[in-house]
Amino acid sequence: MRRAGARELLLQGNEAVVEAALAVGCTFYAGYPITPSTEIAEGMAARLPAIGGTFVQMEDEIASLAACLGASLAGAKAMTATSGPGFSLMQELVGYAAIAEIPVVLVNVMRYGPSTGLPTSPAQGDVMQARWGTHGDHPIVVLTASSVGGAFDATVRAFNLAEKYRNPVILLLDEVVGHMREKVRIPDSRSVERVERIRPSMPPEWYAPYEETNTGVPPMAAFGEGYRYHVTGLVHDRMGFPTQKKSEIVEGMDRLFRKIERGFREICRTETLQADDARVLVVAYGSVARSARQAVADLRSQGKPAGLLELHTLWPFPRAAFERLVDRVDAMVVCELNRGQVYREVLRVVRGRCEVRKLTRNDGELLSPAEIAKGLREWI
């Protein structure tokens, strides 16, 4: 039965990101146009003012993320979007958002690089940058999607995880997912899950913006609500003021990671296809997962026991999913549009318990189902 207000639309992946951001309560967007993410900025520019939200085109990408962090500190759900070169410019403030615990969503529609690269060609070369692009140890959440509907769902999740854990969340799409069109069912906004950040319930004089809690996530007051709030990129104490005390340094940094570690079961999501009896398991994400699904179906029709593990969360790396499957298969084949970034991570977590191979392209072209099926036949 269709819910009142639900719509079926033919959308690009980038347009689905816009629909999802509005449905989950985003009221602020600052950004700078860049291929292949520009449709997100265009959509937010057209739609946000109509609902009382704010759109600002900034002078560059680092300023865009800075504006989003300021809006988030003032109580708004905020988002920006970019591609590889802009993502590089934003890295300093990714670290700032992590240490200052400012919720924000950053969409990176990946293209071929490095540098200007091939601006309109697909790639998945920003996976490690999403985890380690900013300097220092820091907690981060990185999601991905392989369909237009998946882009909608991942955007909703990105906002909810950012608000729940007071942490930046990155959504990595690739050019194909951002620009392809599919029919998508957009639910009524009242049925979309919305997680709101925890607000302080104590009097302002008792408020400590970075205090320890049972979940590791402190309540977050908005600027202007009467709560004293000091924000810095320096290591700070529970009141937000810079500290060089070893005990406060260790305590604060441990809490930053602990709050994410406690949420691993919720954050880390994967999907399997015919993995229970597979001898060879394809590991894929984004647009490559679409090709992998067809390759697995083709091989199964020929009686060859292939399966698929699709990653919806890239960081924290969904290690538990590999632990469940590694002893059932002879080999895992990691398929991706780079030189083997997730492949290296799979090698690390599997630790020799099964063979791990890679099947990659790094030339701005897609991995086709036929290429994946051909590669898998050699190992089944």
Domain range annotation of the chain: 7-191, 269-377
pLDDT at 377 over 90: no
Please tell me the predicted confidence (pLDDT) of residue 2.
40
What phi-psi label fits residue 22: left (phi over 0), alpha (psi between -120 and 50 degrees) or beta? alpha
User: d(Cα 19, Cα 187) in Å, to the nearest integer?
Assistant: 10
Three-state secondary structure call for residue 108: strand
pLDDT of residue 379: 79
In angstroms, how far is CA 275 from the centroid of its own chain?
24
Residues 109-142 have pLDDT tens digits of 999 999 999 999 999 999 999 999 999 999 999 9
Burial of 137 by CB count in 10 Å (0-12 exposed, 13-18 middle, 19+ buried)? exposed
Same fold, 7-191 and 269-377: yes
Is the pLDDT at 380 greater than 80, yes or no? no
Residues of the chain with pLDDT > 70, as a percent, come to 99
Strand 331-336: give its sheet, edge to edge: 270-273, 306-311, 280-284, 331-336, 355-360
Quote the mean pLDDT of the chain: 96
Domain 269-377 = CATH 3.40.1350.10: no
- Rounded Cα gap, residues 297 and 217, in angstroms: 43
The answer to whether the CB of 302 falls within 8 A of the CB of 330 is no
CATH class (in words) of the domain with range 7-191: alpha beta
pTM of the model: 0.96
pLDDT per residue over 329-346, tens digit each?
999 999 999 999 999 999
Does residue 1 surpass a pLDDT of 60? no
- Looking at the predicted structure, is the pLDDT value of residue 4 above 60? no
The string of pLDDT tens digits covering residues 188-203 is 888 999 999 999 999 9
pLDDT in tens, 338-368: 999 999 999 999 999 999 999 999 999 999 9
What confidence tier does 378 reach under pLDDT thresholds 50, 70, 90?
A: confident
Strands 306-311 and 313-315: unpaired
Residue 271's DSSP bridge partners are 310
Q: In whole angstroms, what separates CA 55 from the centre of its chain?
A: 22
